[in-house]
């Protein structure tokens, strides 16, 4: 069966422009997914780490925790590339990137070595973490108390 004349003309144009219009539509109308992080209370600590040796060693804040991650986007996989406390900057790249597929709960250990030190030595630190995905979008966690690990 032959195609009607208008489909004969429009079908090649649709094949050409459909991927482009879909991409522009996703870019314009796609909202940032909401990321959910649930820290494990029994395994969430902060302490002082040292970079270097002897008197020239630099003190860094180290945050360690196990946490469950999920998000609300039904199609996109998020790849987490960095995690650090709000108001600080990562000093050591731990190289611990991980993926969060859609409709999945992922358990992962996070570790961050940052400056400046946000907590007071010897006391629990309560704060938020910044989570960065593969598109450099930042998400802030809820406030959480990390135990002092000395």
pLDDT of residue 13: 58
Weakest mean pLDDT among 28-32, 37-41, 87-91, 137-141: 28-32
Q: H helices within 96-150, ranges in order?
A: none
The class (CATH top level) of 35-148 is mainly beta
Residue 6 has pLDDT above 70, yes or no: no
Cα pseudo-dihedral 19, 25, 28, 33, rounded to 10: -90
Provide the mean pLDDT of the chain: 88
Q: How far is CA 12 from the centre of its chain?
A: 40
Bridging pattern class, strands 138-140 and 89-92: unpaired
| 19 and 81 Cβ atoms separated by less than 8 Å | no
Considering the chain, tell me which residue range(s) the CATH 2.60.40 domain(s) occupy: 35-148
Mean pLDDT of 103-124: 96
Cα pseudo-dihedral 50, 51, 55, 56, rounded to 10: -150
The token duo for 81 is: 């590339």
Mean pLDDT of 38-61: 94
- In whole angstroms, give the CA distance from residue 136 to residue 107: 21
pLDDT of residue 94: 84
Residue 145 has pLDDT above 90, yes or no: yes
pLDDT of residue 22: 62
**Portion of the chain with pLDDT greater than 90, in percent:** 73
Residue 30 has pLDDT above 90, yes or no: no
Mean pLDDT of 132-136: 95
Residue 18 has pLDDT above 70, yes or no: no
Mean pLDDT of 93-102: 92
């Amino acid at each position: 069966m032959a195609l009607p004349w208008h489909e004969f003309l429009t079908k090649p144009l649709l094949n050409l422009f459909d991927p482009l219009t879909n991409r522009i539509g996703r870019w314009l109308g796609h909202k940032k997914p909401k990321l959910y992080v649930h820290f494990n209370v029994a395994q969430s600590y902060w302490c002082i780490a040292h970079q270097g040796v002897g008197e020239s060693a630099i003190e860094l804040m180290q945050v360690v925790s196990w946490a469950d991650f999920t998000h609300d986007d039904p199609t996109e996989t998020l790849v987490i590339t960095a995690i650090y406390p709000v108001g600080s900057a990562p000093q050591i790249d731990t190289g611990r990137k991980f993926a969060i597929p859609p409709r999945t709960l992922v358990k992962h250990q996070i570790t961050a070595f940052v400056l400046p030190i946000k907590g007071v030595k010897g006391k629990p630190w309560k704060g938020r973490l910044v989570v960065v995905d593969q598109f450099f979008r930042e998400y802030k966690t809820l406030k959480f108390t990390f135990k002092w690990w000395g």
